Amino acid sequence: MSKGANVGRFIAVSGAAALALTGCSGTADTGGATDGGTGDGGEVTLEFSQWWEPELPEGAFRELMDQFEEENPGIKVELLSGPYASTKEQVVAGAAAGTMSDVVGLDGAWVSDFAQQGAIADLTALMEEVGYDDSGLASQVQVDDATYMIPVVNFVYPMFTNDALLAEAGVDAPPTTRDEFADAAAAVTGDGAYGWVLPLSLEAPNGIQNDVMSWVWASGGSMLDGGQPALVDNPEVSSAMEFIQGLWDDGVVAPGAFTMKEQDKVEEFTNGRVGMMIDSLAHVNLIREQNPDLDFSISAIPAEEGYEGERGIPYASWGIGVAENSENKEEAFKLVEFLMSEEVNSELSSIANAFPGNVDSVPDFVEEDELFGTAFEIYQSGFPANEFTGLPVAEQLMRDFGEEFQRALDGQQSMEEALAAAQATWEEEF
């Protein structure tokens, strides 16, 4: 994308609460059936490429597609399913060749590039064309004020606390402010334990998104201004980075941060070596399985002192879009509409252990599991916060920032210099 293009951050639609996330997309060998998508008897066959089916209970997603077919006579759905990595390779190739499936699972980090390529359809225009009311959508991912992806289900990143470690250190409750967090981290650190774990691997730089910028969003801040980089002369960003620098200088961050990836972070927490981490709710059951005796809870990411507004919550999501090359866009959007309906979205979020993309949907597990119920309350009271979603070369932006951020933590430059250097690089990327 050229410098100066107006790349819109994702839009949180008004409702009970909004939260969105990133996902990934796939493609077929031939996008949207070159014969017009009609089979015997005049039926339309939609190709739906995604990585969701393998991650759900066996047969569950196919059952939803069967329900859609029953409710929409004349439309069939062919699921093209595969692991995330292979789906990613396919969708990138399909975007370049114009052979995407009619309906595609999308990663929000790719939306800007695909939109600029003309590979995915303008859903704002499509919704207007079919008369769709989007007031029930929790969020939409936009580029240049047009929607290209709708998050179907969302996986939030709250703060996890090892309550036993905190209690042993004299901390009675999870911290709610930055000062409380710093005090708790200092109290926990010692005897082989650390207050906080921070993954800053440049190979997998999503720690910048989930563990660093999350402190900005938790206090209602932004790293963008009008869709453009705003890292310099931005007190919301500088105060959060200085806060993390202070934690680093105090020695409360677990060692090995510069090469640590998300899975390493989860392992440190699961094994009881750190008091606090920011992590995906999707890992709750994994932590429980690997360490059934671990006493932990979740809460909102602490905010800056005095902040009383809604807190931004990092997220990732299974997003959905329609291929521009599809000859069956209207039918394709019927499938999108089906998945975003209140009842179906509740069912899908329940079997995925995720939060719904429809503001009126409620997954079953929030009433059955206290921890997930707490997470849902956090979800409802905050707003979706992932400004990398919809940006050009989003992963590279994280890596660029991570390189300068590491140099600042390591004492090679000031944090002010790091933000200025990252800003300059980001402006070139935009």
Q: How far is 206 from 156, CA to CA, in rounded Å?
A: 14
Q: How far is CA 64 from CA 70, 71, 299, in A?
A: 10, 11, 33
Nearest to residue 158, comparing CAs of 353, 344, 352, 376?
376
Question: Is the predicted pLDDT of residue 40 greater than 80, yes or no?
Answer: no
Q: Are residues 126 and 225 in the same domain?
A: no
Residue 6 belongs to some domain of the structure? no
What's 205's domain CATH number?
Answer: 3.40.190.10
More confident residue, 308 or 27: 308
Q: How far is 145 from 63, CA to CA, in rounded Å?
A: 35
Q: Are residues 251 and 400 in the same domain?
A: yes
| Tokens encoding 236 | 């919301």
Q: Tell me, what DSSP letter sits at residue 210?
A: I
Question: Is the predicted pLDDT of residue 401 greater than 60, yes or no?
Answer: yes
Question: Over the stretch 315-342, which tens digit does the pLDDT of each residue have?
Answer: 888 999 999 999 999 999 999 999 999 9
Q: Are residues 140 and 37 in the same domain?
A: yes
Residue 1 belongs to some domain of the structure? no
Question: Is the predicted pLDDT of residue 11 greater than 50, yes or no?
Answer: no
pLDDT band at 344, cuts 50/70/90? very high
Mean pLDDT, the chain, rounded, equals: 88
- Read off the pLDDT of each residue in 210-227 and give the average, rounded to a whole number: 96
Residue 62 belongs to some domain of the structure? yes
pLDDT band at 85, cuts 50/70/90? low
More confident residue, 425 or 350: 425
Q: Are residues 278 and 261 in the same domain?
A: yes
Question: Is the predicted pLDDT of residue 389 greater than 70, yes or no?
Answer: yes
Q: How far is 264 from 241, CA to CA, in rounded Å?
A: 22
- The predicted structure's pLDDT at residue 78: 98
Q: Please state the domain count of the chain.
A: 2
Q: How far is 311 from 320, CA to CA, in rounded Å?
A: 25
- Read off the pLDDT of each residue in 380-408 and give the average, rounded to a whole number: 90
Q: Are strands 274-278 and 194-196 parallel, antiparallel or unpaired?
A: parallel
Q: How far is CA 228 from CA 56, 313, 387, 404, in A?
A: 37, 21, 11, 19
Q: How far is 124 from 148, CA to CA, in rounded Å?
A: 7
Q: Are residues 292 and 319 in the same domain?
A: no
Q: Are residues 53 and 81 in the same domain?
A: yes
Residue 401 belongs to some domain of the structure? yes
| Tokens encoding 284 | 């709750």
For residue 104, what are the contacts with CB-CB under 8 A and spacing of at least 6?
A: 25, 26, 27, 48, 49, 50, 91, 94, 120, 320, 321, 322, 323
Residue 5 belongs to some domain of the structure? no
Question: Over the stretch 99-157, which tens digit does the pLDDT of each residue have?
Answer: 999 999 998 877 888 998 999 999 999 999 999 999 999 889 988 899 999 999 988 89
Q: How far is 246 from 189, CA to CA, in rounded Å?
A: 14
- The predicted structure's pLDDT at residue 34: 37
- Read off the pLDDT of each residue in 411-422 and give the average, rounded to a whole number: 98
Residue 4 belongs to some domain of the structure? no
Residue 3 belongs to some domain of the structure? no
Q: Are residues 24 and 97 in the same domain?
A: yes
Q: How far is 256 from 263, CA to CA, in rounded Å?
A: 13
Of 347, 366, 384, the residue that ends a domain is: 384
Q: How far is 136 from 133, CA to CA, in rounded Å?
A: 7
Q: Are residues 348 and 401 in the same domain?
A: no
For residue 305, count other CB atoms closer than 10 A to its CB.
10
Q: Is 192 exposed, middle or buried (CB count within 10 Å of its CB: 0-12, 13-18, 19+)?
A: exposed
For residue 66, count other CB atoms closer than 10 A to its CB.
12
pTM recorded for the entire structure? 0.75
Bridge partners of residue 316, in order along the sequence: 155
- The predicted structure's pLDDT at residue 185: 98
| Tokens encoding 189 | 């650190």
Q: How far is CA 353 from CA 194, 317, 402, in A?
A: 30, 12, 30
Q: Most confidently modeled of 5-19, 227-241, 309-323?
A: 227-241
Question: Over the stretch 249-304, which tens digit does the pLDDT of each residue have?
Answer: 999 999 999 999 988 999 999 999 999 999 988 788 889 989 999 999 999 999 99
18-27, 30-39, 381-390: which has the minimum mean pLDDT?
18-27
Question: Over the stretch 234-253, which tens digit does the pLDDT of each residue have?
Answer: 999 999 999 999 999 999 99
Q: Are residues 150 and 167 in the same domain?
A: no
Residue 132 belongs to some domain of the structure? yes
Between vectors from CA 268 to CA 266 and to CA 269, what angle results, nearest 5°?
A: 65
- The predicted structure's pLDDT at residue 38: 45
Q: Are residues 239 and 137 in the same domain?
A: no
- Cα dihedral sign, 223-217-157-293: positive
Question: Over the stretch 144-195, which tens digit does the pLDDT of each residue have?
Answer: 899 999 999 988 899 999 999 999 999 999 999 999 999 999 999 999 999 9
For residue 275, count other CB atoms closer than 10 A to its CB.
32
- The predicted structure's pLDDT at residue 19: 36
Q: Are residues 142 and 198 in the same domain?
A: no
Q: How far is 117 from 386, CA to CA, in rounded Å?
A: 23
Of all residues in the chain, what percent carry a pLDDT higher than 90? 68
More confident residue, 348 or 110: 348
Q: Are residues 257 and 293 in the same domain?
A: yes
**Which residues constitute the domain of residue 85?**
11-155+315-384
